[in-house]
Structure 1
Amino acid sequence: MKVIDKQLNKFLNALDRINNEKMIIKCLNKTKNEYKLYDPGNYLYRKLNQNYNKNDLFSDEYLKLVYVTLCAWNMNTRGARLTDFETFVSLLRQNEKLICQLSDYKIKEFKEKELKLIEELFFNLKYLCKQKSKIVTFSKTMHFLLPHLIVPIDRKYTLSFLKNNVNIPNDIKRQFELYKNIFLAFSLFSKTTDLTEYIDNNWNQNIPKILDNIVIGYEKLK
């Protein structure tokens, strides 16, 4: 537990670098002006949010849109190989009850004791990705299904910002411990820093994506 606490504290210290209004605005503007301006990933993400309905997450059309958007977000490349579409849909539908149970939660209201739900989902969905590393695929897929709870994570921006490296353990239990501390760090940050004023109809459509965009902007400013 001491190792986990040390890691969480490291992530919280990293987030302290962006914990002021001036820096938040600067980072968000950097992302807005320089990140995927005319990219299919931007267009599909906005379309995904327009079509989001927590009571209809598992329709064929919505899950197709999720899958295509993941591909546009580079989630079907060598580094993060998605499973085939049929398996992808089957895995998500097998976990429909658990995903729906989490759909009412928001990141700034989430309690640590409820992490068991996310842990169960993490292990249930380990075959969404063909690679050993599951964190990136899990976080981005779940962001599309639970947009107010889950922050999308990647190596280039999120892990570089929080860890100063992009390494992910091979062992899936250690991967979840890493994911858990990332999630808790973002959740604790969102509880103390009001980000609602930055919500818009483009990239910043929810608090988790705003957190992601702040990190992207910070890394681009370096």
Structure 2
Amino acid sequence: MKFSAVVKKILSSSSSPMTPQEIRDQVKMKHPDFYGTPSHHRNVEKGHYKDLDHALLAQIYSITGTSNIFQCDKSTKPMKISLSKLEKPLRRPMMNSERPSIHRASPIRGVNYDAKIKEILSNAEKYHDAYYKAETFRGPSLYFHQRALATRHAPVSLTHLEYIYATLASWGMHRMGRGGSKMQSFEIFSHSIQALKERIAEAQTFDFHEMTYTKWAILKEIFCSIRVMASGTSLVGNSKAMHHMLPNVIPPIDREYTLRFLRGNTNIRNDLETEWLLMKEIISQFFIPVASDAAFYSKAEQWIKRSRDYPWDTSVLKVVDNLVIGSKK
């Protein structure tokens, strides 16, 4: 059972919303295997939390703040957590007039993430070999990618922004002629990033192991404020731009590989809020679970160290992306 399922089970058995502290106590009492885990002990040993209770509490805040299974009422302190309306059992059949309108549907409804996570973890070596044997991406696309990452700690510098801009162009984000995707002018792109200087610097300290509601909110602000694409869809271009600023928390996402692998199609509804939700869910429900697997994480770190052999393995989340691409080779 996953930790999110444990929290969901606890909330399902409660007649009223619960505080994180109340959920923690129920976990300790009824699900002791989820208390004092190796991850909790590591975080305490590293000084991230003062004791195991606080490590568990942080995990509760993280899972309830990043999953649409839960609803958090922050009008009280401590906040009260309940199941979202979509997760609550129905008391009676819904009338047509009561059904949610179609535009409220989850942007990735029906995706079996568990199966996709298992596929990647079970075939990591195979897909990694396939990715590098294909030698699909070389030349400018690799050079500018590496340079953009190397200069990211000066996130609004002209050099860094020019490298990101060049990377996206070499990755096919700007098509010449009438059709295809189009990027904004460099001036528009650069100006949008300048206004996000402090947010980007803060987000560069994030770790995908320790995402919280507040951290996701900061990433959303960045995603919704970047102006890199002139064409209708923002998800692909924005994720690729953000990846080169925040490689530890944002992977590059595209239609042909990411969406086709996860959803079986390349459709994106052109709506900034919907595209943000889609990106967040893909990262939180697929990329982070894969990257958090202990055996995979160790393997990815070894590949990253062998940069001459595996130049595209530039972060753990990029390794996951490479395996998704390798699955299609």
Report the TM-score, using the length of structure 2 for normalisation: 0.61
Distance 1:9 1:191, change over 3 A: farther
Aligned match of 2:215: 114
2:262 to 162, 166, 175: 162
1:148–1:169 distance in 2 versus 1, CA, 3 Å: same
The structure showing larger relative contact order (alpha-carbon pairs under 8 Å, at least 6 residues apart) is: 1
Structure 2 CA distance for aligned equivalents of residues 5 and 145 of structure 1? 25
Corresponding residue number in structure 2 for 1:197 = 302
Q: Map 1:21-60 to 2 at 5 A.
A: 23-49=123-149, 51-54=150-153, 56-60=154-158
Could you tell me which residue of structure 1 aligns to residue 14 of structure 2?
none
Residue 69 in structure 1 maps to residue 167 in structure 2: yes
Confirm or deny: 8 A CA contact 1:134 1:175 kept in the other structure.
yes
Deviations 1:58-90 (A, max 9, x none): 111121111111111111124331100011110
**2:248 maps to which residue?**
148
For the 8 Å contact 2:247–2:317, the answer to whether it is kept is yes
Q: Give the Å deviation of 1:5.
A: 9.8
Q: Are the counterparts in 2 of residues 7 and 181 from structure 1 also a CA contact under 8 Å?
A: no
- Answering whether residue 224 of structure 2 is matched by residue 123 of structure 1, we say yes
Cα deviation for residue 116 of structure 1 reads: 1.1
Opposite residue 323 of structure 2, the aligned amino acid is: I
Distance 1:32 1:172, change over 3 A: same
8 Å Cα contact 2:223-2:242 kept in structure 1: no
Map of 2:198 onto structure 1: 97
Unaligned runs of 5+ in 1: none
Q: Contact 1:76–1:82 at 8 Å: present in 2 too?
A: yes
Equivalent pair of 1:28/1:214 in contact (CA under 8 Å): yes
Structure 2 Cα separation of the partners of residues 61 and 177 of structure 1: 31
Change (3 A) 1:157 1:138: same
Could you say which residue in structure 1 is the equivalent of 2:324? 215
1:206 pairs, out of 294, 310, 315, with 315
The verdict on how the C-alpha distance between 1:87 and 1:132 changes in structure 2, with shifts beyond 3 A counting, is same
Shift of 1:6: 7.1
AA aligned to 1:13 is A
User: Structure 2, unaligned stretches of length 5 or more?
Assistant: 1-67, 69-85, 87-104
> Which of 113, 116, 124 is the equivalent residue of 1:14?
116
Which residue, out of 152, 173, 182, partners 1:81?
A: 182
Number of residues paired by the alignment? 215
Which structure is higher in helix share? 1
After superposition, the Cα gap between the structure-2 partners of 1:101 and 1:12, relative to the gap in structure 1 and judged at 3 Å, is farther
1:147 match: secondary structure: coil
Q: Aligned equivalents of 2:180 and 2:211: distance in 1? A: 30
Deviations 1:178-221 (A, max 9, x none): 1111111211221224232221321001112101101000122x
Distance 1:40 1:113 in 2: 36
Q: How far, CA to CA, are the matches of 1:104 and 1:148 in structure 2?
A: 9
Q: Secondary structure at the match of 1:65?
A: helix
Structure of higher CA gyration radius: 2
How high is the sequence identity, in percent, across the aligned residues? 25
Compute the RMSD of aligned alpha carbons.
2.1
Which residue is equivalent to 2:284? 184
Normalization by structure 1: what TM-score?
0.88
